[in-house]
Amino acid sequence: MVVNLVNWQRQAEQYLSEGNYTSAAYVYEEAIIAEPHITSHYWHLGLILLLQGQEAEAQMTWMLPMAEVDEEEIGKLTNELLQVLETEAIQREKFEEFSVAWVIRQHIREINPSNINNLIKIITLSIKLNNFEVDDLMGLGLIQYLKTNENDKVLYEEFKSLIQEVLKVEPLHSASFRLLEASLPYFSSSNDCYEIFLPVAMRIGHTMKCPALAAEILKLILRLDGNNVEVIRNLATFYQNSQNYNQGIKVAKQCYSLSHDLPDKIFAIHLLLRGLMNAGGYWEEVCSACQKLESLVQELIHSQPIEISEIQILRLLTPLFAIPHIKDNPVEFKTINNQLAKFFQASIQTFAGEDLNRYSQLKQNKKVCHAHKKLKIGYLSYALRHHSVGWLARWLIQYHDKDKFETHIYFIDYKEINDWLQEWYFNQVSYPHKVGIDAWDIAEKIRNDEIDILIDLDSLTLDITSEVVALKPAPVQVTWLGWDASGIPTVDYFIADPYVLPDTAQNYYTEKIWRLPNTYIAVDGFEVGVPTLRRDELNIPDDAVVYLSAQRGYKRHPETARWQMKIIKEVPNSYLLIKGLAEEQAIQNFFYKIADEEGVDCSRLRFLQQDMLEATHRANLGIADVVLDTYPYNGATTTLETLWMGIPLVTRIGEQFAARNSYTMMINAGITEGIAWTDEEYIEWGIRLGKDAYLRQQVAWKLRQSRQTAPLWNAKQFTREMEKAYQQMWQIYVEGH
């Protein structure tokens, strides 16, 4: 090969661009022979050898010009070499040759281990190449550098993107948290930190179900801005979700003190109620907070029109969820609920603006399909997983007639955790959709899928779901199972049955109540594991009568607890087991105080830990002779589980949906023993079932027999009834259009 020394650099670059490393190396070798004093020839030759995989030869070539120079000159030559390598690495990154760029940057690191920009690039390239190890954050010295060079603000843009990339692949590792912590001094403003850290915390806390870690991340933001109300709101939620109730209550109170607008005060009171009620036992504070909530909501209703932001609107309905846990007055509750829901819907549609108007026009121009088409049914929920809704809705999904119905499920904020029930749902339907948390995107997806009937499984328990149904993405919209009706005017129907709502309920429901002929829910049964509870381990005699109350702290009402103490007092050799999520000391103090007031020895109370598995929990129900329900908010899934296990249940019927769940389930299991219409009847049934072993045996036998005959345990029949309802709803819609 003849080398033109005048044009050697151009020739070498051409060979490099062609990937002809051998020829490029030859050019530089000839250049070194001709111009041995030009150090850049050695840098480029070594680079080419490196690209050929000859790393030792490359290093030897780079060392040649440095062999006989002083220390000052070595520093200068090293900088020259680093510049050549950096330029080539950037070029390779530009052309997405990430493997080559990564190798070059590793050698830059060997020459200059403290080059922080290079360390950031190495980690970024490792993520792109799927060979990132989170321990590299420590091993490469990145976190240590950030801790010791806090004045290096130039790096902000570089590591901002790095943080986001690291947390996409390793959000839960302790080294990732240390990276966030070490990066705090580099943010020029708390707002910059907020924009990166908050979405990370929301994903970790909600989607990945690690609220304690999410709380720690939010506390980092508060180091820069201690009064950031949005951060404090979410911090209260994550504390409560991680069962750190005391901190959750404390932060909720701080949130209220920092809130000034009516909507913000309403949501702050909701956070306080959420903490107090989940902890259980704080009844006086709960009542005070609930009165304040109702007062603020009434003030908001009467203050319209009012300036309100979109995020404030989204938070308006969820706080109402607390009220039915405290009192059974559906007429009063629904009056407030419906007014607020109407305001909510109007505001959501106003914010949607022209997009919604454009969609409405398209919908008007579209021809309505005939009544007997194959219906597209969409189920919308965040709870189709290990959740009460997930356990109960699966039979309907399983038994759907696929020839007559095309079933879609829209998983709001699909949980990135190992959840076999969630995966079951995802694999059960032909059209599963992971739709995130953007309500407009979800609504648009539902519209594009041309869903005929949308089933809302969340109601007021999730703001995103409420926003979606307020946008009216489907011609027919129905609320079922997840909770009471939302009151949002765009919802056409609420699924009920002859028992779960009183006959007069339509007077105060905005939705048309669609009563199925037997029951609004049916299951074929539950998975039952191996029991882990024994009477002797609880220091309870074999011949004792064991009562059980298994509900979360939210449902603990002092009047119901008082009835339960009166029952225990009248039944000799009886004990009460208390189980459910709550703050341990608070719930114990709650029950001990009432027991003392009713003259019941506290040694007759036992407090049980939660079971890790639902199947174990169901098996452990068998330790009870009688289960005592809560009021004014009954059990639902817990009631079904109790009846399935053949255990007598005492329930107090009220007027609201939440106070009639156990009633309809018992009726549909063929049981009337234990149904109380008054406080006194609740106590009487509790005493009678405790004292009469034969009566308990009769009820248990009837419950076992009911598995083959009762509507409650016939999910296939229930599915046919739901499908018939869907077809009739669609017929009504078609005839009206």
Residue 25 lies in a domain: no
Band (pLDDT 50/70/90 cuts) for residue 366 is low
Residue 692 lies in a domain: yes
Residue 389 lies in a domain: yes
The DSSP secondary-structure symbol of 204 reads I
- Average pLDDT rounded to a whole number, residues 210-233: 96
Q: Assess whether 331 and 382 both reside in one domain.
A: no
Residues 235-286 have pLDDT tens digits of 999 999 999 999 999 999 999 999 999 999 999 999 999 999 999 889 999 9
At residue 363, the pLDDT reads 58
CATH label of the domain that carries residue 488: 3.40.50.11380
Residue 276 lies in a domain: yes
Residue 244 lies in a domain: no
C-alpha closest to that of 604 among 585, 630, 578: 578
What is the tally of structural domains in the chain? 3
Q: Assess whether 631 and 680 both reside in one domain.
A: yes
Q: Assess whether 344 and 467 both reside in one domain.
A: no
- Average pLDDT rounded to a whole number, residues 709-723: 98
Q: Assess whether 404 and 312 both reside in one domain.
A: no
Range of the domain at 339: 262-352
Q: Assess whether 418 and 551 both reside in one domain.
A: no
Q: Assess whether 560 and 646 both reside in one domain.
A: yes
Q: Which of 352, 379, 413 is the last residue of a domain?
A: 352
Mean of all residue pLDDT scores within the chain: 92
Q: Assess whether 310 and 406 both reside in one domain.
A: no
Provide the Cα torsion 262, 266, 271, 277; round to 10°: 150
Question: Mind spelling out the 3-state secondary structure of 655-708?
Answer: CCHHHCHHHHHHHCCCCCCCEECCHHHHHHHHHHHHHCHHHHHHHHHHHHHHCC
Residue tagged 């996409």 (tokens): 168
Provide the Cα torsion 425, 430, 433, 434; round to 10°: 40
The burial of 557, by beta-carbon neighbours within 10 Å (0-12 exposed, 13-18 middle, 19 or more buried), is given as buried
- Average pLDDT rounded to a whole number, residues 49-74: 85
CATH label of the domain that carries residue 656: 3.40.50.2000
Residue 166: CA count within 13 A, CB half-sphere: 29
At residue 2, the pLDDT reads 47
Q: Which of 296, 325, 352 is the last residue of a domain?
A: 352
Residue 571 lies in a domain: yes
Q: Assess whether 501 and 608 both reside in one domain.
A: no
At residue 33, the pLDDT reads 87
- In 320-377, which ranges are continuous DSSP H helix? 323-326, 330-352, 354-365
CB 641 within 8 A of CB 621: yes
* Per-residue pLDDT at 359 exceeds 70: no
Residue 647 lies in a domain: yes
Q: Assess whether 273 and 395 both reside in one domain.
A: no
Residue 136 lies in a domain: no
Band (pLDDT 50/70/90 cuts) for residue 71 is confident
Q: Assess whether 616 and 566 both reside in one domain.
A: yes
Q: Which of 515, 546, 572 is the last residue of a domain?
A: 515
C-alpha closest to that of 482 among 396, 385, 383, 408: 383
Band (pLDDT 50/70/90 cuts) for residue 582 is confident
Q: How far apart are CA 509 and CA 502, in angstroms?
A: 12
Residues 394-440 have pLDDT tens digits of 999 999 999 999 999 999 998 878 899 999 999 999 999 999 999 99
* Per-residue pLDDT at 23 exceeds 60: yes
Q: Assess whether 325 and 414 both reside in one domain.
A: no
Residues 171-198 have pLDDT tens digits of 999 999 999 998 888 887 888 889 889 9
The number of angstroms, rounded, from the C-alpha of 179 to the middle of its chain's C-alpha atoms is: 25
Contacts made by residues 24-33, CB under 8 angstroms, sequence distance 24+: 24/48, 25/49, 25/52, 26/1, 27/3, 30/3, 30/5, 31/3, 31/5
Q: Assess whether 495 and 562 both reside in one domain.
A: no
Which whole-number Å values give the CA distances from 263 to 95, 195, 315, 585, in the listed order?
Answer: 51, 23, 8, 33
Lowest mean pLDDT among 87-101, 145-159, 337-351, 668-682: 145-159
Sequence-separated (6 or more) residues with CB below 8 Å from residue 712: 519, 521, 522, 523, 640, 643, 665, 668, 669, 706
CB 670 within 8 A of CB 700: no
